[in-house]
Amino acid sequence: MPDNLFNPVSDNLPEELFETLLQHNNVRIERIVSKGHTTPEGEWYDQSTDEWVILLQGSATLRYRNGQSVDLCSGDYLWLPAHLQHRVEHTSENPPTLWLAIHIAACPEPAL
């Protein structure tokens, strides 16, 4: 039975919604729904996986640890290499911000 990335979520969303859509080997695909949510002040994402993310709906602003920021709107996508420290500074509420994120972990080296 198919599902849909645009399925509605509750109007009352106290925290960002993270849903894993697929997990296979070293790849995880997730849907993220934000409604005005941001990264808590003073916190930075520092992920151990590479991430490719596309904004499907709404708008957002990401800030990198080096001070640069990027504004995103529907259709914009980014490559975030592992350990690139970043934070979410803004997400739209109406419409909700809908992200599709693909996380790619390094493959372990084969044993010799």
Q: What is the CATH number of the domain that holds 70?
A: 2.60.120.10
Structural domain range at position 79: 17-104
Which tokens hold the place of 78?
């980014």
The CA distance from 48 to 50, in Å, is 7
Cα end-to-end span (Å), the chain:
42
Q: Give domain status of residue 29, yes or no.
A: yes
Structural contact between residues 30 and 21, judged by C-beta atoms closer than 8 angstroms = yes
Which tokens hold the place of 3?
């599902």
Provide the domain count of the chain: 1
Which pTM was predicted? 0.89
pLDDT for residue 11: 82
pLDDT for residue 9: 86
Peptide linkage before 95 cis (omega within 30 of 0)? yes
pLDDT for residue 83: 96
pLDDT > 90 fraction of the chain, expressed in percent and rounded: 82
